[in-house]
Structure 1
Amino acid sequence: MLNLDSIDVEEIAAALADQTDYDHRWLVDPRTGEVVFWTSDTGIDGENPVELDELDLIVIDPLPSYVWYQDMVDFAEGISDKAAGRRLSASLQGKGAFRRFRNEVYDHRPELISVWQAVRDARARVRAVQWLVDEGLVEEQAAQRFISDNPEPALP
């Protein structure tokens, strides 16, 4: 098992959120917890192509977009400014919801930017730690300690 304090949880969170369609993957070394970036053209060192199955690393598959979408729904429904909540909820309807939600927060509700980022990032870190537990890389007890030490911020 790895020591959770030695793992870049933010980097794992970013990998789990990476929804791009490019030919790349994020991987973690189960011996060290180091996160590396792989592409089919340049491998993990940026120069030498290598097949994924030749590496003794664990692939970090991104979580489905509905997971991240739910964060936006929860935020819109949880804020006390009901008018802002309705506008944010409306932005989530149909295709392009991520872009519209971001535009609504950043262009029309700048007072919500820092709290939205804090909530989004806190949830992403928890997912990263849970992913590490699910992969057998860190102990459940360490994960629970991390989660209790890093609570999600209260909504305004």
Structure 2
Amino acid sequence: MTIGFAYDDEALEPGVLDDEFDIEEEPDRWLRFDCIGSRDSWRNMADFATRISDPDLRNRLERAIEGRGAFRRFRDAVHEAGVSQRWYAFSTDRKFGRAREFLVRQGIRPT
């Protein structure tokens, strides 16, 4: 069984992990998984808001994601409401889901 690891762009900057691997030396060994775009991030916020059972909070979150500044307003709203841990867990789960889907499309079975 092959085990893989994920590294973000910061870890791949010159000098950070040079002792561990050389992407240029073994390019077939690495897959690039780009960050999600703002549309997918916005969809995550909208989906999270629909899962909130408190109608007042749900309405605040839905209003927060309208128009310019949606990401900042949403972040502020989840922190003020005390649901930031739930939001970050939801968002992280969505990111892992996208990563798993990406690996499957590449013919790799995620575990």
TM over 0.5: yes
Q: What is the match of residue 97 of structure 2?
A: 126
Q: Greater RCO between the two (CA within 8 Å, min separation 6)?
A: 1
Q: What is the match of residue 114 of structure 1?
A: 85
Q: CA deviation at 1:54?
A: 7.6
Partner deviation per Cα, 1:40-81 (whole Å, 9 max, x = no partner): xx277459xx89698332222222221121111011122111
Partner deviation per Cα, 1:125-149 (whole Å, 9 max, x = no partner): 11111111112222xxxx5xx6xxx
- 1:79–1:85 contact (8 Å) kept in structure 2: yes
Identity across aligned pairs (percent)?
30
Secondary structure, aligned partner of 2:12 = strand
Equivalent residue runs for 1:1-156 within 5 Å: 2=2, 6-8=3-5, 11=6, 15=8, 25=9, 37-39=11-13, 42=14, 45-46=17-18, 55-56=27-28, 57-106=30-79, 108-110=80-82, 112-138=83-109, 143=110
Q: Count the aligned residue pairs.
A: 108
Q: Which runs of 5+ in 2 are unaligned?
A: none
Partner deviation per Cα, 1:15-52 (whole Å, 9 max, x = no partner): 5xxxxxxxxx48xxxxxxxxxx333xx277459xx896
Q: CA RMSD in A?
A: 3.0
Normalization by structure 2: what TM-score? Answer: 0.75
Q: Which runs of 5+ in 1 are unaligned?
A: 16-24, 27-36, 147-156
